Chains A and B, each alone.
Chain A
Amino acid sequence: ETVMTQSPATLSVSPGERATLSCRASQSVSSNLAWYQQKPGQAPRLLIYGASTRATDIPARFSGSGSGTEFTLTISSLQSEDFAVYFCQQYNNWPPITFGQGTRLEIK
């Protein structure tokens, strides 16, 4: 099983600033890596797939990078609606499809 490790567990950032979230895979997942955003009481929302491709209707301030085992999600200028929990997911080595444990992005 490919284990996904996200860091940090919690990130405190001020609105308007940049946020950088990390995700590491225990073995290569090529570019088959996705990022989701989840707000309280809601289902996850797909942000990024293929490590760097934004999903439909996702604002340009969200960007993804990386390949192999190291990945990054960057939110260039945080808006109030961006404070949420973010999960990475690998879909290269399956079954099973696996998720990271999440990074909570909170207002500083």
Chain B
Amino acid sequence: QLQLQESGPGLVKPSETLSLTCTVSGGSISSSNYYWGWIRQPPGKGLEWIGSIYYSGTTYYNPSLKSRVTISVDTSKNEFSLNLSSVTAADTAVYYCARAAVLLWFGELLLNPSDIWGQGTMVTVSS
């Protein structure tokens, strides 16, 4: 059974870089059928898609975060990572990693909704 697990520091200082890793177990991150993504949720608020990556390294990012976000993949370790630079208190959130199946919709690439999620990890930005 496929499982995802987030890891990384729970506290990051303002202006520094938030770094998280998602380890995939019970299956291969190199499957051609899936993208792997990050989604966050500030306390008591809604969900925000950060971005997604394919095993080949192709990435898609939320334009609102694109200038600060890098998502990378390490197929040898079966994991993918999130770096978010120049963080502020507004980046305080639970960060989830999740899997999304590839969907071809009338010739266009879409990502199906995420069907498997990690448990989430709380990251607080504070000095």
Contacts and interface: CB of A to CB of B under 8 A. Distances in A.
Contacts of A34: 113
Nearest to B97: A43
A101 interface: yes
A91 B60 contact: no
B46 A97 contact: no
Interface string B84-127: 00000000000010100001010000111111011110000000
B123 to A, nearest CB: 15
Interface of B: 45-49, 51, 60-64, 96, 98, 103, 105, 110-115, 117-120
A32 B115 contact: no
A89 B47 CA distance: 9
A91 B111 CA distance: 7
Contacts of A49: 112-113
17 contacts: A34-B113, A43-B117, A43-B118, A44-B117, A45-B117, A46-B113, A46-B115, A49-B113, A87-B47, A91-B110, A91-B111, A94-B111, A96-B49, A97-B49, A97-B111, A101-B45, A102-B46
A96 B46 CA distance: 15
Contacts of B120: 43
A10 to B, nearest CB: 13
Interface of A: 1, 30, 32, 34, 36, 42-46, 49, 55-56, 87, 89, 91-92, 94-102
Nearest to B111: A91
Given A46-B114, A91-B111, A98-B49, 15 more contacts: A36-B47, A43-B117, A43-B118, A46-B113, A49-B112, A49-B113, A55-B115, A56-B115, A89-B113, A91-B110, A91-B113, A92-B110, A94-B60, A99-B48, A101-B46
